[in-house]
Amino acid sequence: MSAVAELLSEDAVLQGQPHAIVERDGVRYTLLGTAHVSRASVEAVREAIAGGDYDAVAVELDEARLQALSDPNALAKLDLIQVLRSGRTAMFAANLALSAYQRRLAEQLGIEPGAELKQAVLDGRGRGLPVHLIDREVGLTFKRASARLGFWGRAKLGGGLLASLLASDDVGAEEIEKLKQGDMLEASFSEFASESPAIYETVIAERDRYMAARLRETAGDAREVLAVVGAGHLQGLAQHLREETRPADAVRAELEALPPKSGIPWFTIVLATFVVGGFAWGFWQGGLDVGSDLLLQWVLATGVLGAIGCAIAGGHPLSILVAFLASPITPLHPALASGTLSALTEAWLRKPTYADFMALRDDVQTVRGWWRNRVARVLLNFFLTSLGTAIGVWTGGLQMLNTLF
């Protein structure tokens, strides 16, 4: 086939499909916009790869999402204790929430969300083409979004994730329309993104920049690259691909880094100063009785409420004991969390089985399933113990103020 005939064939395939073509640094990028819940998008991807003379295929996926789409047993290969120890519990919960959301969509619409992305990977590899995953890892996107919110914003985001895990009703028409326009994460975070510019910037705008940088970074010797992305990313991705002047690796590194934390944990320092200072003042001014009373109030308020949170989560008696012992201490230490210690104890005592991981997606669809499944119960343990401890900190602090003044 001549070059002219190939070009005409490619144009015919893209006819009627959202797309953009950007030429930069000797590479011609064909950006094909898709809807993540459309069988027509699956066919468009297949025809584009079969009918175009491409040197590489790029896809709006990261390794974790591709594994989830390709391997139904992916969750069963996780080391839950390592997830807890490394502080990735919230990231794991975010991935689980996205998985549950996709499951609801598949049951409601009869098509696997992201099927066209999976098809692009399969067909690209089937034709012997390099396939590049250009999206940022979901957990990292969630963590960057969370870091840009205040305390109440993070609490709302966490509560929303938990609610989406428990939800069993149909996905709303507005969310489905967003998926037709083409972005899974935007639809998943739609309730928060509409109210928070920080979340919209992290979930949508940053990923446009990130994927444009990854396209430039992975082009290599290719001269024709097909990029399959959600239609909602077309405009921003094409703009950054044309206009970004910074080196691609520098842009990627910037968007993979977490926002810097304050070098000094002021909240912990203030809290520890108040609590320890309150104890000292109580013993000094009021003697043993007042000092002991203040100490007992703090231990009971934090320890009991942390233990109650663990008990509500169905924790093992030893996990409940760990929650009780840890809750008065961990708020005063920036590197410790009562929820993590209690959840680690729970995972060690009641180690999740292969069957628990395999049943996880189904079990989190029902309230009873959260307590039946050992993986879900460990997550509940983490969140409810942490919540109980946080409430205990405020309760204990107010009781101390009342006693002191």
Q: Same domain, yes or no, for 252 and 118?
A: yes
Q: Same domain, yes or no, for 329 and 227?
A: no
Q: Which residues pair with 209 in a beta bridge?
A: none
Q: How confident is the model at residue 178 (pLDDT cuts 50, 70, 90)?
A: low
**Average pLDDT for 179-190:** 56
**Average pLDDT for 111-132:** 90
Pairwise pLDDT comparison (158 vs 290), residue with the higher score: 290
Q: How confident is the model at residue 81 (pLDDT cuts 50, 70, 90)?
A: confident
**Average pLDDT for 115-132:** 93
**pLDDT at residue 8, rounded to an integer:** 38
Q: Same domain, yes or no, for 310 and 328?
A: yes
- Count of domains forming the chain: 2
The answer to the question of residue 383 being in a domain is yes
Q: How confident is the model at residue 174 (pLDDT cuts 50, 70, 90)?
A: low
- Tell me if 370 sits within 8 A of 114, measured CB to CB: no
The answer to the question of residue 143 being in a domain is yes
Residue ending a domain, among 231, 256, 281, is 256
Residue ending a domain, among 202, 224, 256, is 256
The answer to the question of residue 326 being in a domain is yes
DSSP-derived secondary structure letter, 337 = -
Q: Same domain, yes or no, for 44 and 129?
A: yes
With 50 as the cut, is the pLDDT of residue 59 above it?
Answer: yes
**pLDDT at residue 4, rounded to an integer:** 36
Tens digits of residue pLDDT in 347-358: 999 988 878 887
Torsion over CA of 378, 373, 68 and 32, rounded to 10 degrees? Answer: -90
The answer to the question of residue 215 being in a domain is yes
Pairwise pLDDT comparison (112 vs 305), residue with the higher score: 305
Q: Same domain, yes or no, for 270 and 320?
A: yes
DSSP-derived secondary structure letter, 86 = T
Which of 43-52, 66-75, 321-330 tops mean pLDDT? Answer: 321-330
**Average pLDDT for 184-195:** 55
**pLDDT at residue 9, rounded to an integer:** 44
**Average pLDDT for 148-154:** 66
Collect all residues with Cβ–Cβ distance below 8 Å to 137 and sequence separation of at least 6.
Answer: 62, 63, 64
Q: Same domain, yes or no, for 332 and 350?
A: yes
Residue ending a domain, among 219, 236, 256, is 256
Q: Same domain, yes or no, for 249 and 282?
A: no
The answer to the question of residue 312 being in a domain is yes
DSSP-derived secondary structure letter, 314 = T
- Tell me if 165 sits within 8 A of 364, measured CB to CB: yes
Q: Same domain, yes or no, for 333 and 382?
A: yes
Question: 160-169, 203-212, 239-248, 276-285: which has the minimum mean pLDDT?
Answer: 160-169
Collect all residues with Cβ–Cβ distance below 8 Å to 136 and sequence separation of at least 6.
Answer: 62, 206, 207, 210, 211, 255, 256
The pTM (predicted TM-score) of the whole model is 0.68
Tens digits of residue pLDDT in 358-395: 787 778 777 888 899 998 899 889 989 999 999 999 99
Q: Same domain, yes or no, for 335 and 247?
A: no
**pLDDT at residue 194, rounded to an integer:** 54
Compute φ and ψ for 386, nearest 5 degrees. -60, -40
Q: Same domain, yes or no, for 249 and 271?
A: no
Collect all residues with Cβ–Cβ distance below 8 Å to 380 and sequence separation of at least 6.
Answer: 313, 314, 370, 371
Q: How far apart are CA 31 and CA 49, in angstroms?
A: 12
Q: Same domain, yes or no, for 238 and 328?
A: no
The answer to the question of residue 149 being in a domain is yes
Question: What is the span of the domain harbouring residue 279?
Answer: 266-404
Across 304-341, b (16+ Cβ under 10 Å) vs e yields bbbbbbbbebbbbeebbbbbbbbbbebbbeeeebbbbb
The answer to the question of residue 261 being in a domain is no
Q: Are strands 19-24 and 27-34 parallel, antiparallel or unpaired?
A: antiparallel
Q: How confident is the model at residue 238 (pLDDT cuts 50, 70, 90)?
A: very high
**pLDDT at residue 364, rounded to an integer:** 76
Q: How far apart are CA 16 and CA 40, in angstroms?
A: 11
Query: What six digits make up the tokens of 202?
Result: 């992290």
Mean pLDDT of the chain: 81
Give burial (CB, 10 Å; 0-12/13-18/19+) of 288. exposed
Q: Same domain, yes or no, for 219 and 270?
A: no
The answer to the question of residue 196 being in a domain is yes
Question: 38-47, 135-144, 177-186, 266-275: which has the minimum mean pLDDT?
Answer: 177-186
